Structure 1
Amino acid sequence: MLSYRHAFHAGNFADVLKHSVLSLVLDYMTRKEKGFCYIDSHSGAGMYQLADEYAQKTGEYKNGIAKIINDVNAPQALEPYLSLINSLNLNSELDIYPGSPGVAKAFVRRQDSSHLFELHPSDIHHLEDFCQRWRKVFVKQSDGYKGVLGLIPPPSRRGVVLIDPPYELKEDYQKAVSTIVKAYNKFSTGTYIVWYPVVKRHFIEQMEKDFTNSDVKNLLQVEFCLNRDTEEYGMTGTGLFIVNPPWQLASQLEEVLPYLKDKLGNNDSKFTLTQLIAE
């Protein structure tokens, strides 16, 4: 199945959480001069126009990034993320929103390399166009799960891996976890980020069990739910599993999560931050 298009959802509350965390992780990686490798398993188009028919049809960004982009009182931990979004929208209008490759491009340096995987026949062309002037980036229209495992461990022995499937198929929940576990067994010092939607709670509970039954250590789980769990169709929340997070990430998220609940949430909204597996 290749029907999913992230353009419908660009800049929504799930993107705000995912990309603010990715920004913090990549910002941390650049504090050392030695290069690192960024690997993105499901890259999408790279950059999105919020004025196009896809984003306008759902308007999800209006209840996401649009609510915080100009907030001068946003917590310091959101500065890398919000500065990036503002730099792309210099005319003060919110017209452009980056996908995960767009976030990565803002942080990687000439000594860093990036590997982007995407299968969708339309998005891969947009991604290739986006990457034309990006040095040391490698774009492939192939299976991102296999792509990740083929690149681990990177020559620099420093790496950030983002697993961000659309979860069109329920098998993606298990595949996302098993790919990280296999990669960790080959390269235990890398930082791995797995994004997930909260649609059916039992899928998330199974991911947690699969991780805790593996050899993975130092796993942080963050979740932000707009609404209570339900058996009805639709995403009520979003979360991330982060293996080997930067040492200060948990404390940064302690600032970010209450802020996002206040700005984007409602009376039913909640967040959790859990060290699911110890170091």
Structure 2
Amino acid sequence: MTVITPCLQSVDTLPDTLMGVVRTWEILQQAGVGLEHLLIDGGSTDGTQELLERHTSRHPFCRWQRDIGGGPYAAMNLGLQLARGHYCHVLNADDLLLDPGAYADFLIQARRKNAALLLASIAYFRRPERYVRAEWIVHLPPPDVKVWHKQLRHGLHYPHPGFIAESSLYRDTGFDVHYSLSADYKLMQTLLLRPGLAGQVAICSVPLVAMAEGGATSGWQAILRGKKQLEEINQDLGIIAPAWRRYWGKFWLRLVRRSSPLLLPNYQGD
């Protein structure tokens, strides 16, 4: 298993990400399963590189690359090229693993079932608050592949923070850096619409990853910039849904808040 974390000026948020992966590594080690953590830094000057230096010296299963230009998708592509694990998962430097034990178990069970694509539910939170504000729950797809693919072509999509794939599939498809805001969407839809993979999908309806709100695709300005990209991607893949549909689901989830906040795990200081 390979976890890839692109980072830039992430010294304040990265410790949560790092320690969640460390705990997952410990659990997988006990089960005889290996994990590597690849950290791709885009040229941080805020102390992130010093943090990575200390962390990788203490944890040999972690490796890092410094001063990689080209933006986050270029960093992810480099991570895919360096990955040695059976699966790859992109975990951003401001996101964290909610339950390392459940995450490890999901990986183990998916490998036993020879799953090629893994889809996990996620939660949303906003810093500096430390509680879940909303959840994106992933449900089992219809048993009829044709029905599922029809849903995908009509706008069904899944959260990239909960997306895991066989490294060879991930690497061969890669992130199209031409789409600066939606390369993850294109990659996922490309693989999910591939007929031969429909029977090799594992689902986890429990949120495993907490995604920090306020990323590059948040806000109205990003939506307006990304609309043309989504239109091009949808046309290329034969998806007939309007471009705005990808964003509408995100905003709806964030409007429907929890009545009783769920505290996030606190990895700081480990």
Q: Same fold (TM over 0.5)?
A: no
Give the alignment's TM-score, normalised by structure 1. 0.30
